[in-house]
Amino acid sequence: DAGVIQSPRHEVTEMGQEVTLRCKPISGHNSLFWYRQTMMRGLELLIYFNNNVPIDDSGMPEDRFSAKMPNASFSTLKIQPSEPRDSAVYFCASSFGGRGAEQYFGPGTRLTVT
Amino acid sequence: EDKVVQSPLSLVVHEGDTVTLNCSYEVTNFRSLLWYKQEKKAPTFLFMLTSSGIEKKSGRLSSILDKKELSSILNITATQTGDSAIYLCAVEADAGNMLTFGGGTRLMVKP
């Protein structure tokens, strides 16, 4: 079975550019999560979707960050404009609500903003 | 604000040693506690605990939840170099499968 798929795996961009990260959750899962991981702050939840609807975006750092889930099999996290402090590994995870909170993580996108 | 704290921050042991990792939490309406292992890539699921006092076990790894003390421990016996990783504790509170993660414990097992 394919797990959670994220693209790109690595992204290097210049400050001010727009960055779009993509995620395909596990088929049949109805919850999707975007996380950011840094050495300083650890793993932080940015936003959570349930049945394609954003439920909690209180973790989104600021207006430069936005996330969409147009259908059950695709989500994007966009940063515009990007800043060096956005450099981190961004993980997407999905779960099936009926089975409890076990979340399956994608491989992550390592973002470097110079 | 929900809070999850792990200790120690890092740990260096030798193969064959037994280690105990700690996780404590302060959350509203606790639902479950999860342990993940993160090597070079994404966290991988180890255990989910919902009931106090019931040990979950998988090979050399085991974990137990103490709801009274708002804490959990993860034990690894007869450690191997392949156990070297960051171990993350996460707590689900309220509804909706949202997890709050601790900062992790970085374990290094030397040959």
**Per-residue pLDDT reduced to its tens digit, A4-27:** 999 999 999 999 999 999 999 999
Q: Would you call A95 and B42 a contact, using CB atoms and an 8 Å cutoff?
A: no
Whether the pLDDT of residue A44 is over 80: the answer is: yes
Q: Would you call B98 and A33 a contact, using CB atoms and an 8 Å cutoff?
A: yes
Q: Would you call B100 and A45 a contact, using CB atoms and an 8 Å cutoff?
A: yes
Most B CBs within 10 A among A30, A37, A43, hence the mutation to make, goes to A43
**CB < 8 Å to B99, chain A:** 33, 45, 101, 103
CB contact B33 to A (< 8 Å): no
CB contact B106 to A (< 8 Å): no
Estimate the share of chain A in helix, then strand, then coil, as percent rounded to the nearest 5.
5, 55, 40
- Provide, rounded to the nearest whole percent, the portion of chain A with pLDDT above 90: 76
Nearest CB to B43; choose among A48, A97, A105:
A105
Summarised one tens digit per residue, pLDDT across range A59-72 is 898 899 999 999 99
Give the pair of three-digit tokens for residue A2.
């394919």
Per-residue confidence (pLDDT) for residue B57, from 0 to 100? 93
B67 vs B42: CA distance, rounded Å:
28
Strands A74-79 and A104-105: unpaired
Long-range contact pairs involving B45-50 (C-beta distance under 8 Å, separation at least 24): B45/A102, B45/A103, B45/A104, B46/B74, B46/B87, B47/B74, B48/A100, B48/A101, B48/A102, B50/A100
Q: Which residues of chain B have pLDDT under 50?
A: none
Per-residue confidence (pLDDT) for residue B86, from 0 to 100? 95
Q: How confident is the model at residue A41 (pLDDT cuts 50, 70, 90)?
A: confident
Q: Rounded to a whole number, what is the distance in Å from the CA of A42 to chain B's nearest CA?
A: 5
CB contact B44 to A (< 8 Å): yes
